Amino acid sequence: MTRVIRGQTLSFAADGKAVHESRGAVAVGDDGTILWAGPQSLLPQGFAQAEVDDYGDKLVMPGFIDAHIHFPQYRMLAAPGKDLLDWLTRFTFPEESRYADAAYARAAAAIFLKRLFAHGTTSALAFCSVHKTCAEALFAAAEAHGMALVTGKTMMDRNAIPAVEDTPETGARETVELYEKWHGKGRLRYAVTPRFAITSSDAQLKVSGELLSSLPGALMQTHLSESPGEIAFVKELFPRAKDYTDVYDHYGLLSDRSLFAHGIHLSDRECARLSESGSTVVHCPTSNTFLGSGLMSMRWLREQDRPVHLGVATDVGGGTSYSMLATLGETYKVQMLTGYKPTAHELFRMATRGNAGRLKIDHETGALEHGKFADIVVLDPEATPVLASRHELSSSLEDVLFSLMILGGDRAVTATYVKGRKVHERA
Ligand code: GUN
Ligand code: ZN
């Protein structure tokens, strides 16, 4: 049955311009794709008999896309580490060791996806634990929802604890097995996932580069230049590398399918190589302030002669919120501290069409356009008393988006649709 979703529609076009209808409609077909989007007054007669979900003045937008999140950290937000390395050793590795248990991983995957939907997130590039069981569970759960999800088994063969370590050989074998089983199934994609240079030996980084170039369509995700302690350790482990970025570059891990979380302390040379290779740096502001890692400067990364592609993400559980709205609010604050004042329009675009492009899923999601899947979030600009009061003062769409990202969170999410099916509705 065709369904028409009515509301104040907002999406971003390929040229970056906002497409906004104060009385808009999105017609969704049986197959979960968008058949038509535009002003209600122009809705074609053919949809007159369709079921209607009418959201009045609420915002109907493409669902948020989280470009970096850790599934097996779903319940360990707010773990008070001294810094990144302390946080990883004391809290993260023990928690991730549980995901060797398939039943545990399956139950966690159901909760994790439910939580994403409750926060308006419809797609993600996610880390799993080192265990194949963990990736199996997340792929299966995402496939059942018809979701565009990119993930992979983490590879890490040193500097952790045995319960979360693999070897270059087992890591590669399981990566290929998972890729063959899941990549391209429904809307799923595989990401080759070496955790970071500290927990992967030279041999494992070499294998990671080989996997990236030999598995067609696969992405690569890792961490780069997040904390001072991490950077110093990388220097000790790879004394011959020019810098942290060069470690990955040496093994062929820089590419237009590569996403690097954080990138806070990058030199001009590193930015130039990331730019040249088409790589993406993913900004994770709530994690960076929580772990005391530093302030990532979008302006520095985008310097005109060597602009680096940027994404934005929660980095749960280092990040302190599942909400991409809250994440955009914190992006604003961190950028203000680095001397740059982003607009809400710019940040909402990054979290939807922008991230879709970085994850290479922009042909199927990230905008309210004919032929794309109906991955949609409905936001209420008056969801809380504070938002409602602020809304009385709003005089433009920019104002509405701005107050939503600064003051909104999961309470601002009225409903979420994945592939045209309602997966969350606020009670
Ligand atoms: N660097 C390596 N692993 C991690 C992780 O799980 N979270 C964060 N924030 N940084 C990392
Ligand atoms: Zn991370």
The predicted pLDDT at position 214 comes to 98
Q: Domains in the chain and their CATH numbers?
A: 3-63+367-425 (2.30.40.10), 64-358 (3.20.20.140)
Cα 49 from Cα 1, distance rounded (Å): 10
- Report how far ligand 1's centroid is from the alpha carbon of 81 (Å): 12
Convert the pLDDT of each residue in 221-234 to its tens digit. 999 999 999 999 99
Index of the ligand 1 atom closest to the CA of residue 70 = 6
Q: Which of 68, 70, 73 to mutate to test the pocket of ligand 1 (most atoms within 8 A of CB)?
A: 70
| Distance in angstroms between the alpha carbons of the first and the last residue of the chain | 25
Enter the tokens of residue 24.
């808009």
Convert the pLDDT of each residue in 279-298 to its tens digit. 999 999 999 999 999 999 99
Measured torsion, CA atoms of residues 32, 34, 39, 43, in degrees rounded to the nearest 10: -80
- Report how far ligand 1's centroid is from the alpha carbon of 125 (Å): 14
Are 406 and 329 in contact by the 8 Å Cβ rule? The answer is: yes
**Percent of the chain at pLDDT above 90?**
100
The predicted pLDDT at position 233 comes to 98
Index of the ligand 1 atom closest to the CA of residue 196 = 2
ipTM: 0.99
Q: Rounded mean pLDDT of the chain?
A: 98
- Report how far ligand 2's centroid is from the alpha carbon of 120 (Å): 20
pLDDT higher than threshold 90 for residue 216: yes
pLDDT (average), residues 101-127: 98
SS in 3 state form for the chain?
CCEEEEEEEEEECCCCCEEEEEEEEEEECCCCEEEEEEEHHHCCHHHCCCEEEEEEEEEEEECEEEEEEEHHHCCCCCCCCCCHHHHHHHHHHHHHHHHHCHHHHHHHHHHHHHHHHHCCEEEEEEECCCCHHHHHHHHHHHHHCCCCEEEECEECCCCCCHHHCCCHHHHHHHHHHHHHHHCCCCCEEEEEEECCCCCCCHHHHHHHHHHHHHCCCCEEEEEECCCHHHHHHHHHHCCCCCCHHHHHHHCCCCCCCEEEEECCCCCHHHHHHHHHHCCEEEECHHHHHHCCCCCCCHHHHCCCCCCCEEEECCCCCCCCCCCHHHHHHHHHHHHHHCCCCCCHHHHHHHHHHHHHHHCCCCCCCCCCCCCCECCEEEECCCCCHHHHHHHHCCCCHHHHHHHHHHHCCHHHEEEEEECCEEEEECC
Name the closest-CA residue to atom 3, ligand 1: 195
pLDDT (average), residues 303-321: 98
- Report how far ligand 1's centroid is from the alpha carbon of 80 (Å): 14
The predicted pLDDT at position 359 comes to 98
Convert the pLDDT of each residue in 355-399 to its tens digit. 999 999 999 999 999 999 999 999 999 999 999 999 999 999 999
The predicted pLDDT at position 133 comes to 98
Whether the bond between 317 and the residue before it is cis, its omega within 30 degrees of 0, is: yes
The predicted pLDDT at position 1 comes to 81
Name the closest-CA residue to atom 11, ligand 1: 223
Convert the pLDDT of each residue in 244-283 to its tens digit. 999 999 999 999 999 999 999 999 999 999 999 999 999 9
